[in-house]
């Protein structure tokens, strides 16, 4: 009975960072993580963000799965950043919805496998909101539409608190994925909500099939709250990310 009461007290602040450089968003995650560790603050923070073009490497590496040169990437103005999240190489860019939950898994009694499964479920339900049947696949964590990947999960845990998170392709340019083996998997194609809607609604124009990021953020809040049994909190937009931690704590 007491465990059920504790679960019902789960709460989070949902924070919209809009579009932000990857390293800056990572710095904000680390600040939030360290604040929770140092002060024991209960409130969890869920960051929503789009990134400027960047390839990120996971704990398993990933440079070996990059098929273009440094000079090519420099000409495209795309950085390569090493991270401590799980997984291999992936791409982030405008039009991809990224969610970073800074969640105290131990306090909330959420297992790591349960958490990863839940992040996948959020993307699965979001895809369903737009008429897309997406599912898990044994090849790799994340969410797939048949043989094409639409969403990825990569997290890290420090002292029972999660950071990093999920990335779901909404209406981004998918070409940079062709320059890597996504998540270290060869011969894997990537897809997006926009691409799948265009397939199923051939009579629609590209403009008619565009999904707004605000719709995705609302879906993420709804499904995160439902999947992990959190109290719903208003989505907050922060103009000055330098003051983010102070303002939101």
Active-site hit among 183, 188, 211, 213 = 183
SS3 content of the chain, % helix, strand, coil (to 5): 40, 30, 30
β-pair partners for 167: 98, 152
Number of C-beta neighbours around residue 124 at 10 A: 20
Distance of alpha carbon 62 from alpha carbon 164, whole angstroms: 17
φ and ψ at 117, to 5 degrees? -60, -40
Contact indicator for 235, 16 with CB cutoff of 8 Å: yes
> Would you list the DSSP string of 157-218?
EETTEEEEEEEEESS---GGGGGB-GGG-TT-EE--HHHHHHHH-TTS-HHHHPPPHHHHHH
Contact indicator for 56, 89 with CB cutoff of 8 Å: yes
Distance of alpha carbon 74 from alpha carbon 94, whole angstroms: 18
Active site residue 183: yes
- Catalytic positions are 183
């Amino acid at each position: 009975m007491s465990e059920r009461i504790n679960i019902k007290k789960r709460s989070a602040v949902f924070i919209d960072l809009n579009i932000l450089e990857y390293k800056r968003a990572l710095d904000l995650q680390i600040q939030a993580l360290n604040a929770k560790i140092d002060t024991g603050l209960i409130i969890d923070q869920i960051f929503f963000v789009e990134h400027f073009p960047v390839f990120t490497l996971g704990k398993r590496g990933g440079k070996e799965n990059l098929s273009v040169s440094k000079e090519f990437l420099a000409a495209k103005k795309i950085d390569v950043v090493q991270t401590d999240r799980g997984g291999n190489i992936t791409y982030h860019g405008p039009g991809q919805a990224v969610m970073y939950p800074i969640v105290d898994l131990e306090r909330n009694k959420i297992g790591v496998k349960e958490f990863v499964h839940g992040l996948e479920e959020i993307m699965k339900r979001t895809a369903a909101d737009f008429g897309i049947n997406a599912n898990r696949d044994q090849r790799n964590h994340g969410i797939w539409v048949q043989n094409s990947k639409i969403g990825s999960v990569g997290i890290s845990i420090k002292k029972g608190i999660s950071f990093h998170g999920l990335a779901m392709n909404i209406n981004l340019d998918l070409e940079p994925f062709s320059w890597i083996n996504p998540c270290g998997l060869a011969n894997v194609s990537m897809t997006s909500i926009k691409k799948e809607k265009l397939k199923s609604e051939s009579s629609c124009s590209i403009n008619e099939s565009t999904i707004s990021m605000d719709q995705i953020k609302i879906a993420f809040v709804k499904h995160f709250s439902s999947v992990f049994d959190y109290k719903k909190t208003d989505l907050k937009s922060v103009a000055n990310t330098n003051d983010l931690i102070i303002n939101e704590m």
